[in-house]
Amino acid sequence: MQSRRRFERVACRLGVELQIGARVRLAEAVNLSLGGMLLSSDLHPEYGRIISARVYLPEPAHVCDLNLQVMWSRPDAFGVAFDALRPLDVWALLRYLEAQGASPETN
């Protein structure tokens, strides 16, 4: 059986600020790929919702400003896909993922 994911995910613990309307909420990324991430949170956003976020990468030290699309949600976490990454964010995410031992693509 072939995986539906295009990019390898790596376990992580990264701080994420989510912009929901006028409120900023904190979450933690528990896995990450070049295509999206799993966020540990008590939020329950609906499928398809677009959320603005800031992800804080430690190495290289970089803040990614991202738009996320909610792909699924459960009581303690939700999965998101990245929408239109900026080139600098792609570069920083690739460096971080490679440092964690991930290959850029699984296919």
Structure tokens given for 55 = 């992800």
Domains in the chain with CATH codes: 10-98 (2.40.10.220)
pTM of the predicted protein model: 0.86
Cα gap 94→83, rounded to integer Å: 16
Reported as a single tens digit per residue, the pLDDT across 49-63 is: 999 999 999 988 999
Q: Does the N-terminal peptide bond of residue 60 adopt cis geometry, omega within 30 degrees of 0?
A: yes
Q: How confident is the model at residue 1 (pLDDT cuts 50, 70, 90)?
A: very low
pLDDT of residue 4: 56
Which run of H or of E encompasses 95?
Answer: helix 87-99
> Is 60 exceeded by the pLDDT of residue 107?
no
End-to-end CA separation in angstroms for the chain? 13
- Per-residue pLDDT tens for 63-89? 999 999 999 999 999 999 999 899 999
